[in-house]
Structure 1
C-alpha cells in the first residue's frame, strides 16, 4: 500500500524543531541535495514546513510527481504533553484502579524534599471511570465485563463531550478480550471519540507505567491525526502525492496509518533523527564510537553512539518536574533512542538572578519572538545574541543570508545585562557562551558516567545550528580529543530522516523461567511478533529492500524487582542449545553491569522484544562534490573572542561550500555554511574528509 518504488528520484526530509523547521530535498539519481531553514510557525507548524518545501521546489523546479517519498519528524506531540495542550481525555479502567495514576509507584524521587512535586496526571480524577470486570494474573476471566456499568460510563463520556478515551484493564497485556469489547462498544455508542487501548500501545506488566503510556497516547491522538492528515493534504495541494513516512522514537520509519494507531511512538522523533544522523556520518568516516551533540534554538541533546548505532532504551519520562531526577516525570513505555536533553539552545535567555549572578535558560525565546537580533520584538538577550557579539556569527550570512540580523540591537540588550552584572559587554557575552557550554558539558558528564563510559575515548560529532558554534568549548570541557562536523550540520536531523531505516518494534509479556520453562512457547511468540512486524515493514519499505530481525529478552533473577534486556542468541530457543545460549547471554550481561552474577538462582523471563528493520536507504547514493580548496574558500578575516586568548583575535573565515577533500587548516577559524557556523579555537588543526566532514583535532 505505502511501499515506494526502487527508483524514487527525489525525497523530502522535514524536521520541525522549537525554533527552526529544516527541510532537505535529496536527488537519488546523483546523490545531490539542497536544504533550507525556516522559522517554525508555532500556531500552525505545517505552515513553516510547506514554506520550506515550496522554497526548495522553486530552487529545483522539478515535477512534484517525481518526489518518491516525504519523511517527517516533529516535536509537536512532546510539546503537547509538556505544555498539557492535548485534548480532554478520559480513562476507563477496572473497578478499584481509577487512582493508579495518582498512586504511581509510591516511590519518592527525592527522599529529603518535603515539598516534593509529582507530575500531575494527564487525566483528572473526575474523568477516570471504573467498569466492573476482572482478569487474574494468568489472563483468565474472573469477572465478565459488565455491559451495564460500561453503558453508564459511555453515557457520561458523551454527556461531557470527551474527545479521547484510554481503556486500561487489569492484566490485559495477557488477554485483551475485555479491552477490545469495551473499545468496540465505545466506538459504536460514542461515534467520533478516539479510543486507545493499552494492549495496542503498551502490552507490558506494571499497571502505572502501562496506564501512563496509554493515557499519554490518547491525550495526543486527535491532535496527531488532525496535524498529520492536514500536512499530507497540504503536500497534495502542491501535487506531491508521494507517501509520507514518520520518524519514530526508536530511530526507524513507518507509514502514516501505523503512527495514527499509536502516535506516542513519535514522542522523541526529532532527537532520534539527530542521533541517526550522528551515527551515519561518524560511521561514514570511520568513527563508529562517538558522542552526538545536537544543539538547536531551544534545546541541546547528547547521545552515545557505539559500533555505529545510537544506544536504545525501552522507557523514558516526559515532562519531568525536576529535569535530571528519575521518577519526576510521566513514564512512557516505548522504544526510544537514549539521550539526554537540556534547555540550552540559541534562543536560551540570559538574565541576572536574585543574587546578581548570570543565569542562562532553560526558557527560550524560540522563534516567536526569537533572539533580540532577529528584530521580531524580543528584548531579552539570548545565546545567539552573545555569539553574535563574540564574532562567531556573520550578521550578513545568518541562515545563509535569508534573515536580516540586527547586531547593534543585540549589543544593546547584552549591554543592559552587563550593567546589571557589573561587567563589560564582552565579559557578559563570553560568560553567556561559557556558561551554556558548561551546562551542556555537565549534563553530558552525568549521562556518560551513568553508562560507565569515559568521554575521552569518544569523538564529539556536532550538529544543529548551535552544535558547531559551541562544540569546541564543550569538547574542551569534556576532554575529548576530536570533533567532527559533518556537511550541512544545521540540517543534520533532516538528513537523519533520509538515511533512517524502516523499523518496527513489538513487545509481549511472558512469564517463565529460562532453566526449566517452556521455551518452545517463547520461540512461537517470537515468530508471531516477527510476522506482525514484517507485515508493517513491508507496507513502508522500498520494494525488494533487505530486512533484519533483532530479538531481545527481558529477564531477572527470580525474586528481583528490576530486569535486564539482553540480545537473544541466534540459536532457536526450542532446543537445549538455545536454552544454554540464553542463560549465558543473560549471565554475561549481568556480569558486565554488576561485575558478578549469582550462581544458584533461576532466571525469570518478564517480556520478549523484537525489532524488524531495513537497511539504510540512500547511503550508497550519498555524494559530496569535489570543492575548490582551502585557499579559495577564505572569505575574510574578522575578530572573534576565544577563552584561551582572553580576548578577540584575528580569525580566518572559510566558506564551507568551497572546502575540498584533503584540505587542512589551523585554528582559530570560522567555517560558515547556510545552516551553521563551525567555531575552531587556536589550539586545533582541521582536515576535510572525502565525505565532506571536517575533523578537528584538539591539542
Structure 2
C-alpha cells in the first residue's frame, strides 16, 4: 500500500461526498493534467456514487482504477449522523458523582430570554450512563484507587442493554490516564469486540463536560463509520484499486484509514475543511492573501476567512445546534477544526410558507433524493435551484454539461402551488423572493461570523465555489460590500481538489495549567518534546521523511479568573524563565487585537499546550484537461437573466472552457461549465488569469424603475466583445 505523501504516487483522486452531489478530481502528476467529475450522491450507500464516479473519471482521463495510486476522501456522514441522531447505542462510564454532567452541561442558557429554550439532548441517555469509584485530582495525583468491581458491574449493565460502543471519561484523566486505561482493559475482557473510546486519547484537555461530550460523540459514530470505511475500502479493492485510502481531518490535514476508524469524530468537518484548504491554495495561486471562502453546494453554504493565505482555525466545535446561529445551542466538541460557519442554504434548500404566512427558505433540503423539482426525480416542493432556473441563471439544457435536462414547466407549477398562490403573487415574484431570502440569509450569517472576529468583509475578496456558489456570488458580494469575486475553473468540485492539495498532518494537545510567571519550564519542554516525538512517529509511518516535518507550537492563555482562552504562538527551541515575558507580551497583543483593549495588572495563565505537525503538501499545477479548447470562440448565445438592480437583461452566455488566459469582458454575462455556472452582473469587469480563474470586479448599477410591482422593466445591456490581452 502506498503511503500519504509518498513520492511514488503519480495518479491521485479526491472524492467529496456531499448532501446532493459527490464530487471528484483526478490529478495525474506525470502530465500535470486535472480531470473533474460530479455525480448525484447515493445516500443509501455513498460508496455506489464514489465507485461510479471513480470509474467514469478514470475512463475520461484515459486511465483505469488500477492506475490510481492514492484516493483522498471526505464525507459529511459523521456530522449527519449526529444531527439526525442515528448513531450507535452508547454506554458512558464516568467517575462516581458525575453521571449527570452531560445533562447539566455548563448551566448556561444560550438564550436567556427564550422561555421555551431547547437544549441539545445528550448522545447517551441516563440509563446507559454508569459510574465507577475512582478519583484523580487536577495535578494527576491518585486520591482514590479505581474500584475494579464497579467497572465490571457497569460492564454487565452495558451488556444487558446491548450497547454498541462505550465511552470512558474519568475526572482529570488528561493529567493521569492510568484509571481510564485499566477500565478499558476490564471492559474489553467483559465485552470483547465492543469499541471503547477513552477521553484522554480523544481530547486530553481540561473541561470535563466538553471532554465527555467528545468521547461520547466519537463512540456514537464509530460503529457506523467503521462499517462504512470497511465497506468502501473493500469495494474499492474489488474494483481494482490497489493504492492508499486516506481521509481529510476537520483541521485540514490528512490521516490514514486506521486512524480515522479509531477516532472518526475528527472527520466531522472533513468536507467543509477540504473547501477551506482549497481556498487557501487559491489564495496563494492568485496572490490574494485575504479571502472569504464561500462554498455553496446543494445542501449547505460554508463561509471561512482566509488571512495571509491560511484559513482560520479553532480547537472547539459545536455539533447539531438546535438554534441555527446561536453559540451554546449545540454539542461542544474539543477537536481541532478549520473555523468556519455552515448554514442550511444550498441549491436544494426548500421554500415554504410558515404558520405566520411568511416565505422561508431552508434549512431543510431536497438533497439528491428526490432533489429539486427541476431534476424530475420526484421532488414536489420548490427549491433555490428551481428559483435560479426561473430567473435565468441556469440553463435547462446544459445542467451538468447537458447530462440532466431541467423541467421548467414542473418548476413553474410547483412555485405557483406552494409559494405564489398562498402569497397572492405571481411565479416570477415567488422566484425572486426565494432568491432574495437565501442570499440575505447567507449575508447575515457571513456578517455575524466576520464581526465576531473583529473584521470587515469589505476588506476581503470573495472566492466562490461549490455547485451553487458562483451562481450566488455576485448577489452575496453586493450584500457584503465586497468588490472582487474570484471563481476558479472547476469551482463546482473545488472541495475535492482541496483533498489533493492538503498536507499530511496531526494535531496534539496536553493540558498543563499555571500562571505563566510560575510555570515549571522543564515540565513544559518535556511535554512539548513528547508531543513532537509522537507526531513524528505518526507522520513517518505515513512515509514522510522526519526532516520534512514542520512543527507549530501554541498555548491557550487567559487572564486569571477568565473562563475562556485565546491561542498564542510558542517560540521554537528550549523554553526557560525568559519565555514567560515573551508569552505574556504575545498574549496581550492577541487579546487587544481580538477585543480592542488590554488589561494591566492581572496575572496571566497558560492552560493547554498544542502542537501541529505538518508534512509537505503535494504540488499540483492547475493544468485542466479542458484548457486546450481556449482558442475557440467562447460565445454560446444569450438569454434573459434577472438582476435585482436592473430587472431582466439580455446576457451573453459564454463557454468557460473556451475562456483562455488574458481574456477580458464585461457583464452582464453567464459563464457555463459542466459543474457550475458563474453569474456576472451588469457593468462588472471580468478577466481570466494565468490559472484560468475568473477575476470579477463588481460595479454599482443604478436601480431601474419597474413598470409593474415585482416585475422590473427589461433592460438590455450590450456585452463587450471578449478580447485577448
- Which interval holds the TM-score relative to the shorter structure? over 0.9
After superposition, the Cα gap between the structure-2 partners of 1:470 and 1:141, relative to the gap in structure 1 and judged at 3 Å, is: same
2:271 equivalent to 1:263: no
Q: Would the aligned equivalents of 1:245 and 1:255 in 2 still touch at CA under 8 Å? A: yes
Secondary structure of 2:31's partner?
coil
**Structure-2 change in CA distance of 1:8 and 1:195 (3 Å):** same
Structure 1 position 211 matched with structure 2 position 212: yes
The worse-fitting range, judged by mean Cα deviation, of 437-446 and 617-626 is 617-626
CA displacement at 1:631 relative to structure 2: 7.1
- The answer to whether the 8 A contact 1:653-1:669 is kept is yes
SS in 2 for 1:675: coil
1:677 aligns with 2:677: yes
Partners of 1:184 and 1:403 lie apart in 2 by: 55
Pairing partner for 2:469 from 467, 470, 473: 467
Equivalent position of 1:652 in the other structure: 652
CA contact (8 A) 2:40 2:49 kept: yes
Paired residue for 1:453?
455
**Secondary structure at the residue paired with 2:555?**
strand
Answer whether contact 2:35 2:625 (CA < 8 A) is retained.
Answer: no
* Cα displacement (A) at 1:62: 2.1
The corresponding residue for 1:125 is 126
Mapped contact 1:348–1:382 kept (Cα < 8 A): yes
Helix, strand or coil: the match of 1:515? helix
Q: Is the 8 A contact 1:136 1:142 kept in 2?
A: yes
Q: Distance in 2 between matches of 1:354 and 1:621?
A: 50
The aligned counterpart of 1:482 is: 484
Query: Are 2:630 and 2:657, in contact at CA under 8 Å, matched by a contact in 1?
Result: no
* CA RMSD after TM alignment: 1.6
Counterpart for residue 557 of structure 1: 559
Question: Which residue does 1:252 correspond to in 2?
Answer: 253
Offset from partner CA, 1:461-507 (integer Å, 9 cap, x none): 00000000000000000000000001100001001011011110000
The C-alpha deviation readout for 1:191-228, integer Å capped at 9, x for no partner, is: 11110000110111111111111100100011111111
Structure 1 residue aligned with 2:359:
358
Match of 1:426 in 2: 428
Q: Does 1:44 align with 2:82?
A: no
Shift of 1:139: 1.2
C-alpha distance in structure 2 between counterparts of 1:361 and 1:8, whole Å = 42
Greater shift after overlay, 185-194 or 115-124? 185-194
Find the partner of 1:492 among 491, 494, 497. Answer: 494
Q: Residues 301-339 of structure 1: CA distance to partner in whole angstroms, max 9, x if unpaired?
A: 111000001100110110111011111110011010111
Partners of 1:471 and 1:624 in 2: CA distance: 25
Measured after TM superposition, the shift of residue 628 of structure 1 is 5.1
Cα offset, 1:357, TM superposition: 2.7
Whether the aligned pair in 2 keeps the contact of 1:95 and 1:130 (CA below 8 Å) is: yes
Aligned twin of 2:533: 531
SS in 1 for 2:379: coil
Match of 1:331 in 2: 332
Q: Name stretches of at least 5 consecutive residues in structure 1 with no aligned partner.
A: none
Q: Choose 313-322 or 627-636, whichever is displaced more.
A: 627-636
- Separation in 2 of the partners of 1:594 and 1:644? 37
1:278 aligns with 2:269: no
Give the Cα separation in 1 of the matches to 2:36 and 2:213: 38
Distance 2:347 2:387 in 1: 9
Query: Is the 8 Å Cα contact of residues 630 and 664 (structure 1) preserved in structure 2?
Result: no
Distance 2:376 2:178 in 1: 58
Aligned CA distance change for structure 1 residues 672 and 545 (closer, same or farther; 3 Å): farther
Which residue of structure 2 aligns with residue 97 of structure 1?
98
> Number of residues paired by the alignment?
697
Aligned-pair CA distance for 1:350: 1.0
CA distance in 1, matches of 2:652, 2:405: 23
Change (3 A) 1:2 1:538: farther
- Distance in 2 (alpha carbons) for counterparts of 1:379 and 1:625: 36
SS at match of 1:42: coil
User: Corresponding residue for 2:115?
Assistant: 114
Q: What's the offset of the Cα at 1:146?
A: 1.1
Whole-Å separation in 1 of the counterparts to 2:129 and 2:651: 62
Counterpart CA distance in 2 for 1:539 and 1:660 is 43
Residue range with higher mean Cα deviation, 34-43 or 498-507:
34-43
- Cα contact 1:569–1:585 (8 A) shared by 2: no
Contact 2:135/2:171 (8 A) holds in 1: yes
Provide the residue aligned with 1:193 in structure 2.
194
**1:57 matches 2:61:** no
CA distance in 2, matches of 1:199, 1:336: 18
Change (3 A) 1:415 1:324: same
In the alignment, the residues of structure 1 paired with residue 589 and residue 84 of structure 2 have an alpha-carbon distance, to the nearest angstrom, of: 42
CA apart distance, 1:538: 2.0
* 1:232 aligned counterpart, secondary structure: helix
SS in 2 for 1:288: coil
- How far does residue 622 in structure 1 lie from its aligned partner after superposition? 5.6
Distance 2:631 2:117 in 1: 57
Decide whether the 8 Å contact of 1:3 with 1:538 is kept in 2. Answer: no
Would the alpha carbon gap of residues 429 and 631 (structure 1) be closer, same or farther in structure 2, given more than 3 Å must change?
Answer: farther
